[in-house]
Amino acid sequence: EAGVTQFPSHSVIEKGQTVTLRCDPISGHDNLYWYRRVMGKEIKFLLHFVKESKQDESGMPNNRFLAERTGGTYSTLKVQPAELEDSGVYFCASSQVRGIQYFGAGTRLSVL
Amino acid sequence: GENVEQHPSTLSVQEGDSAVIKCTYSDSASNYFPWYKQELGKRPQLIIDIRSNVGEKKDQRIAVTLNKTAKHFSLHITETQPEDSAVYFCAAKNGANNLFFGTGTRLTVIP
């Protein structure tokens, strides 16, 4: 069974540019989560999809971040325009209903 | 919202010794507490978890304890081995099924 996959593994962009991160959850997992870890700090919750619907987006830092999950399969997280403080590792996780969350390897975003 | 604190931030132990990592949480409604291990360059992986109706759970060299009254939970690793070296994260799940993580503990096991 394939795990949660994230693309790209690393992205380096300049301040003001746009970046789109992608997450492919485990097949059959309706729940999809986005998290972010800024260096040395906690893995912080951003938002939670159930199928294509946003169940909870209380962790999204501001309106420069837009997450979508069209069709309830893969999800994208777009940052536009990127700022220096957006640098960090973005993790995606998926789960069955109230099940264990399985994480992807993360996308390391560096905003210069 | 939920707030999880984790200590220590770094921990070095000699191979064969025990390691203990402690976490506290703030939301008394949290009912599930997983521990994730992240090796360098790899994804966080669940190593053990405990639900709020249980006080202790053990899996070989790893154990987790939960004190609901004090809102404390701890990870215990016995007979540590070099391959236990990693960053460990505790987390608490709230009623909305979202995980709130601690800041991580970098464990180094010295051969």
Structure tokens at B63: 């154990």
Hey, CA dihedral for B55, A93, A102, A70, is it positive or negative? positive
Instruction: Please tell me the predicted confidence (pLDDT) of residue A90.
Output: 97
- pLDDT band at residue B34 under the 50/70/90 scheme: very high
Model confidence at B90: pLDDT above 60: yes
pLDDT digits (tens, 9 = 90+) for A89-106: 999 999 998 789 999 999
User: So what's the pLDDT on residue B33?
Assistant: 96
Residue B73: predicted pLDDT: 97
Residue A70's pLDDT is what? 86
Candidates A26, A42, A48, A100, partner chain B, best to mutate (most B CBs within 10 A): A42
pLDDT at B1: 76
> What is the 3 state secondary structure string of chain A?
CCCCEEECCEEEECCCCCEEEEEECCCCCCEEEEEEECCCCCEEEEEEEECCEEEECCCCCCCCEEEECHHHCCEEEEECCCCHHHCEEEEEEEECCCCCCEECCCEEEEEC
Question: Could you tell me how many CB contacts below 8 A there are between chain A and chain B?
Answer: 57
Residue type, A84: L
What residues does B57 pair with on adjacent strands? B64
Per-residue pLDDT tens for A61-95? 999 999 999 888 999 999 999 999 999 999 999 99
Residue B17: pLDDT band (50, 70, 90) is: very high
- Chain B positions touching A44 (Cβ under 8 A) are 101
Tokens 């000699």 belong to B14
Mutation for A interface: B6, B33, B43, B48, most A CBs within 10 A: B43
Choose among A42, A98, A102: nearest Cβ to B97: A98
Report whether pLDDT(B69) > 90: yes
- Is a pLDDT exceeding 80 seen at residue A1? no
B86 φ, ψ to 5°?
Answer: 180, 180
pLDDT value, residue A99: 85
Cα distance between residue A22 and residue A99, in whole Å: 22
Q: pLDDT digit string (tens) for B92-101?
A: 998 777 899 9
Which burial class, exposed, middle or buried, applies to B109 when counting CB atoms under 10 A from its CB (0-12, 13-18, 19+)?
buried
The count of residues in chain A is 112
Rounded (to 5) percent helix, strand, coil in chain B: 5, 55, 40
Residue written as token pair 């991160």: A21
